[in-house]
Amino acid sequence: MNISHLKIGTRLGLAFGLLILMMLGIAAVGVQRLGSVGEINARLIEDDWVKAEAATTIDTTTRANARRTMELVIAADAEQRTRVKAAIATNKKTIDDALAVLDQRVQMPEGKASLARLKDLRGKYVQSFSKVAQLMDADDREGATALLRTETLPALDALQEPINALTALEKKLVETNGKAVMADIQNARILMLVLGAAGLLAGVVLSYAIARSIILPLRRAVSVAKNVAAR
């Protein structure tokens, strides 16, 4: 179809229609990309950060309980031992809550394996610690110290391994999704710039083509009129 055969109004309508379609395309791309960024951000904030925080809580609270366990053995009297055991019980509740969060949210097989190992080793550590507490309640400091050194502290060291693995995994997920957000933003910026440039180029080309299709016939008409008038 030759554009010069169309009416001027039709030509202008087609040109503006094409530009409007390109603008709608740019808007659609922007909305789609923003939706993708919003989805990743929601997962990052509502899931990944929550799991990372829970893993970090388990890590720091377990380390705190290690210090409390040693403090229990060197406690000067029963009153101090009671305070130490109360602090350990509070930390235990904090760890239980964090584990419940991870139980609900951890989906990756690697994470589930680390979580299962963590629970198993934590059970062994708690069992050993309970023996130490019982020995101290019986005023057997020597036996409690020996058990702490040979069983409880090694159990605590073993427990730290799956905690570290889980913490590292959740940190990696946060970093991965953070990078995905930045990549989506960058891709959206590039795509919108390309579409904007294409729209600008199309506008220039269409303006030139329409102007030319209007001006050339007018020039020919003027030329014909001059020739007729000159006769």
Please report the domains of the chain, with CATH numbers, ordered by start residue: 3-230 (1.20.120.30)
Burial of 228 (0-12, 13-18, 19+ CB in 10 A): exposed
38-47 burial, b if ≥16 CB within 10 A, otherwise e?
Answer: eebeeebeeb
User: 3-state DSSP call for residue 58?
Assistant: helix
Token output for 130 = 């309970």
Report the percentage of the chain scoring pLDDT > 70.
Answer: 88
Q: Which tens digit of pLDDT belongs to each residue from 10-32?
A: 766 777 777 788 778 777 877 77
Write the pLDDT tens digit of every residue in 208-225: 777 777 777 667 766 666
Distance CA 22, CA 204 (A): 14
Residue reference for tokens 């050194």: 149
Lowest mean pLDDT among 52-56, 80-84, 176-180: 176-180
Burial of residue 136, with CB atoms counted within 10 A of its CB: 0-12 exposed, 13-18 middle, 19 or more buried: buried
For range 131-160, the mean pLDDT: 89
Pick the closest to residue 205 from 18, 26, 21, 23 (CA basis). 18
* pLDDT higher than threshold 60 for residue 1: no
Long-range pairs of 215-223 with CB within 8 A, sequence gap ≥ 24: 216/4, 217/4
